[in-house]
Structure 1
Amino acid sequence: MTHTERLLASAALPVDLDEAAHRCLVAGFEGTTVVPDTLKRLVDRGLGGVILFTRNIRDAEQVRRLTDTLRALRPDLLVGIDNEGGGIGHLVGAGAPEVPGSFALGVADDPALTARCADALAGHLATLGITASYAPVADVQRHPDNPIVRTRSFGTDAELVSRHLRAWIAATEARGIASCAKHFPGHGGTVTDSHHELAVDPRPYEELDLAPFRAAVDAGVPMLMSAHVVFPALDANRPATLSRRILRDLLRHELGFDGVLVSDALEMKAIADRYGEAAGARIALAAGADQVIVAVPDLEVTLSCREAVLDALRCDVLTEERVAEAAERVRRLAERYATPAAEVGEWDAGAGLEAARRAVRGQGRGPAAVRGAHVVDLFPPPHPALNWGGEDLLCELRAVDPTATGTTVTGEAADPASFVDGILRLAEGTPLIVATCDAGLYPWQRHLRDALLAARPDAVRVATGLPDGGALCSYGRGRVNLRATAEALTGA
């Protein structure tokens, strides 16, 4: 018997309690057509949900076959995916509607337009048989050096974020898709990405951005996701995901949330490096989480988390009442959302580009039309935990101006001076566009930009992240963000 088989055979709890414990798990896996045997056994034991990623996506027909296969194993299995829009979306290969990131929607500041974009995303999910969306982001982009929220947020003002959350949640709910506001109680005040290390928000209680989460709860959001962030004003010892004070005292008692509280992925280093995924699963559930996500496709990690939970139940470290409470919330969620709608109506496929155009023009009057330009598109390499569909400004610029040329750069040049000289030669006699993405976080971008502007003060500046001085700003790097920017540059 293999190690995996021994683990799968190790349950010695009553069947109903064993099933309840499994309902508290959400697993990632490898594959586009075949469900791994280990995952099948977990589903048979009561696994609460699976989370899909780009690795599971080939095309729309394949995704629907995969979700049908998963539900044939267990009809109440929740099938979810991160589906924020913008440059973060795993369904590009399945024909996902193109919508800008949330910040651009906040700049346009038309909740009805936000609802149309959210409706398009939710409608598309429904056609694929995916009924849980780990979106929208409820974080307020509060700290200028925050490395992970930024244009994923609706903005820097809590009330603006709140009204767009309400619009997104209502539109998603109308499609029969479960939305999930994240990352409670907020990740926008940190200077650390919790994918890489434990993050801390040092602000006092009265300055924390709880208002959007209150708005989400009041709007009836069925799920919230916790943040792997320490808030000394709330609990100096543990990140929110593992904190009873934050998950039970604040969220359940003060905010009155009775939906499913799901953890952010346990393999993120904020949890994995300090506690380990297995201990993280046990502590999170004891603290008040209802489900924990293990997003990595290595099912051995999911099994280790499962065993930690079962062992904690056997030893009374984790109470039966707590697991039963969590499992009942998941059961109610599945009752509402596990079955896809029989019919899916149309959605507004043009809403995303409309929003992106309004966001770019929201920065103010753009430059005079630029044709035949050479564009230098500087942006960081894609985040390893977030999808990137290959978008760049040059491709979108050439779609509206075939005479455009350019260079894309995703990291520091080996010889910056030679690189700048080469760009200047290529752009000699033509307009030059210099685009950066959050250059304040990446010195190599600033250095290249400043060197190019010193030699070409006539160059047009573009920011494809948050605003950067007087540059024309797209407020995101989704394909429609970049297309709208290209149109603004060329007058198309």
Structure 2
Amino acid sequence: MTHSEPLSAESDEAAHRCLVAGFDGTTTVPDTLKRLIDRGLGGVILFTRNVRDAAQVRELTDTLRALRPDLLVAIDNEGGGIGHLVRAGAPDVPGNWALGVADDPELTGRCADALAGHLAGLGISVSYAPVADVQGRPDNPIVRTRSFGPEPELVARHLRAWITATEARGIASCAKHFPGHGGTRTDSHHDTAVDPRPRQELDLAPFRAAVDAGVPMLMSAHVVFPALDPDHPATLSPRILTGLLRDELGFDGVLVSDALEMKAISGRYGEAAGARLALAAGADQVIVAVPDLETTLACRDAVLDAIRTGPPARQRVTEAAGRVRRLAERYAAPSAAVRDWDDGAGREAARRAVRAQALPRPVRGAHVVDLFPPPHPALNWGGEDLPAELRAVDPTATGTALTREPADPEGFAEEVLRLAEGRPLVVAVCDARLHPWQARLRDLLLAGRPDTVRASTGLPEPGDGTVCSYGRGRVNLRALAEAVAGAG
């Protein structure tokens, strides 16, 4: 076969099946996307940019399926502060770390059921969750409270509960990020990430548990594991995707890449080469999450060019497309009937996590300073803060939320101390180890008010305080506010 020889219709459709595309729009489908769908596009991924309200999302997913009934409609839907469906009435469930602290798999299943039931009602068929990563390094910048915890077996038992509950709703779950992102000190959204541990120390047990639980999808990590393959990130490594995942762990579901525009791939290889190499390594679908459909087209063209090189590439893409087709037969059509889910499961879990620790004496009428990093654009909704949740349970409370160091920290601290004069002061930080400006500002306030109630909305660390929400989802912050004010 030469580069000038036309492809068969079957090969053309197979190449499109292997793509998941992001796009702009809440009510209309771009013409370029329509053409991709007509040629067999495997899936689309929705983000906050595609969400206005629940009715609009359902109308959008119906419109997409009218173009092609077997199109998979996917979204990142981990719960807590990680998700894009707040405007569409997403159930309030805490992030995974809080579920791990509560450590009740039945409760985790109820939370996963609420998320999956909501997706079914919106016509979304694939949930890129749960996170199977073990939070192994205190300086890891990307997993953190998205993980169920620091121990592989803890993570494994909650994965099983999540996958089972999601499957019962007819939604495809996707355990991520194989073979783990918790041992890195770099966010692969921004740069090459490396896990330097020897093979025997890698956290593969949760992924084995997910495969044993029948998870239909796994997502690869853009992480280099020198003990497994020193030359390629997992997403592009035949040794990891085929040798380890397929041959050793026995996974035969759909393996999807993390987004190709992440700098660990795009910065070194480019999205188009990344698509070609990922599929050759053993991936079945690649995600192009950016709304610029020209990038998706470039990835598509790279896959078509690969097919033209001869039978090995054509057979690999045909195999991948077959897995995607089987997944679509099972999940593409959302459940016809959506039963009610347990609206209280998330509140119960968040409260149990907060109250699983020694709590400070409740205070009323407090002034709260909430320090946290800006929302991650690829992951977070970011519309929640602790002052708002505290005022909801104690209208006499006041507060300030801050996502970056003020130009005049000393002046800011002086103003806070003035506002809090004669009142309790609460200072919350979120992962201050990674964002030292928070610790500096907290210490300025503690110097003026040694009686300050200290709190954390991220991973608890020495010096952070006496009460922790273990996440920044709205329900996490409400549970923390209730503990501070003695309410709920």
Partner of residue 397, structure 2: 404
Task: Measure, in 2, the Cα distance between the counterparts of 1:386 and 1:345.
Answer: 28
From 372, 396, 406, give the equivalent of 2:365: 372
Partner of residue 7, structure 1: none
Runs of 4+ in 1 over 6 A off after TM superposition: none
> 1:280, CA displacement in angstroms?
0.1
Residue 441 in structure 1 maps to residue 434 in structure 2? yes
Letter of the 2:7 counterpart: L
Partner of residue 38, structure 2: 44
Task: Measure, in 1, the Cα distance between the counterparts of 2:383 and 2:446.
Answer: 26
Residue 360 in structure 1 maps to residue 354 in structure 2? yes
Q: Secondary structure at the match of 1:408?
A: strand
Task: Measure, in 1, the Cα distance between the counterparts of 2:417 and 2:68.
Answer: 60
Task: Measure, in 2, the Cα distance between the counterparts of 1:48 and 1:12.
Answer: 21
> 1:369, CA displacement in angstroms?
1.2
From 456, 461, 478, give the equivalent of 2:473: 478
From 172, 178, 181, give the equivalent of 1:184: 178
Letter of the 2:19 counterpart: L
Query: How much is the aligned-residue C-alpha RMSD, in angstroms?
Result: 1.0
Task: Measure, in 2, the Cα distance between the counterparts of 1:156 and 1:374.
Answer: 33
Task: Measure, in 2, the Cα distance between the counterparts of 1:229 and 1:301.
Answer: 22
> 1:317, CA displacement in angstroms?
8.6
From 212, 236, 245, give the equivalent of 2:206: 212
> 1:468, CA displacement in angstroms?
2.5
Partner of residue 73, structure 1: 67
Partner of residue 6, structure 1: none
From 383, 399, 414, give the equivalent of 2:376: 383
What do the CA deviations read for 1:407-451 (whole angstroms, capped 9, x no partner)?
111001111111111111111111000100011111100100111
Q: Secondary structure at the match of 2:444?
A: helix
> 1:18, CA displacement in angstroms?
0.6
Partner of residue 295, structure 2: 301
Task: Measure, in 1, the Cα distance between the counterparts of 2:399 and 2:315.
Answer: 61
Q: Secondary structure at the match of 1:86?
A: coil
> 1:368, CA displacement in angstroms?
1.0
Q: Secondary structure at the match of 1:264?
A: strand
Q: Secondary structure at the match of 2:352?
A: helix
Q: Secondary structure at the match of 1:40?
A: helix
Partner of residue 5, structure 1: none
Task: Measure, in 1, the Cα distance between the counterparts of 2:377 and 2:74.
Answer: 19
Q: Secondary structure at the match of 1:322?
A: helix
> 1:318, CA displacement in angstroms?
5.8
Partner of residue 61, structure 1: 55
Partner of residue 454, structure 2: 461
Partner of residue 331, structure 1: 325
Letter of the 2:192 counterpart: L
Q: Secondary structure at the match of 2:94?
A: coil
Q: Secondary structure at the match of 1:441?
A: coil
Q: What is the TM-score of this pair, normalised by structure 1? A: 0.97
Residue 491 in structure 1 maps to residue 467 in structure 2? no
Letter of the 1:446 counterpart: A
Partner of residue 95, structure 1: 89
Q: Secondary structure at the match of 2:348?
A: helix
Q: Are the aligned partners of 1:154 and 1:161 in contact in 2 as well (CA < 8 Å)? A: yes
Q: Are the aligned partners of 1:11 and 1:310 in contact in 2 as well (CA < 8 Å)? A: no
Q: Are the aligned partners of 2:306 and 2:314 in contact in 1 as well (CA < 8 Å)? A: no
Q: Secondary structure at the match of 2:274?
A: helix
Q: Are the aligned partners of 2:308 and 2:314 in contact in 1 as well (CA < 8 Å)? A: no
In structure 1, stretches of 5+ residues that fail to align are 1-9
Q: Secondary structure at the match of 1:461?
A: strand
What do the CA deviations read for 1:226-251 (whole angstroms, capped 9, x no partner)?
00000000000000000000000000
Q: Are the aligned partners of 1:286 and 1:318 in contact in 2 as well (CA < 8 Å)? A: no
Q: What is the TM-score of this pair, normalised by structure 2? A: 0.98
Q: Are the aligned partners of 1:140 and 1:209 in contact in 2 as well (CA < 8 Å)? A: yes
Partner of residue 418, structure 1: 411
Partner of residue 86, structure 1: 80
Mapping of residues 141-290 of structure 1, within 5 Å: 141-290=135-284
Task: Measure, in 1, the Cα distance between the counterparts of 2:368 and 2:13.
Answer: 56
Task: Measure, in 2, the Cα distance between the counterparts of 1:386 and 1:347.
Answer: 24
In structure 2, stretches of 5+ residues that fail to align are none
> Which one is further off, 51-60 or 385-394?
385-394
Q: Secondary structure at the match of 2:259?
A: coil
Letter of the 2:470 counterpart: Y
Q: Measured at CA, do residues 371 and 317 of structure 1 come closer, stay the same or move farther in structure 2, by a change above 3 Å?
A: farther
Q: Are the aligned partners of 1:49 and 1:77 in contact in 2 as well (CA < 8 Å)? A: yes
Q: Are the aligned partners of 2:384 and 2:474 in contact in 1 as well (CA < 8 Å)? A: yes
Residue 319 in structure 1 maps to residue 313 in structure 2? yes
The number of aligned residues is 482
Partner of residue 336, structure 2: 342
Q: Secondary structure at the match of 1:440?
A: coil
Task: Measure, in 1, the Cα distance between the counterparts of 2:312 and 2:5.
Answer: 15
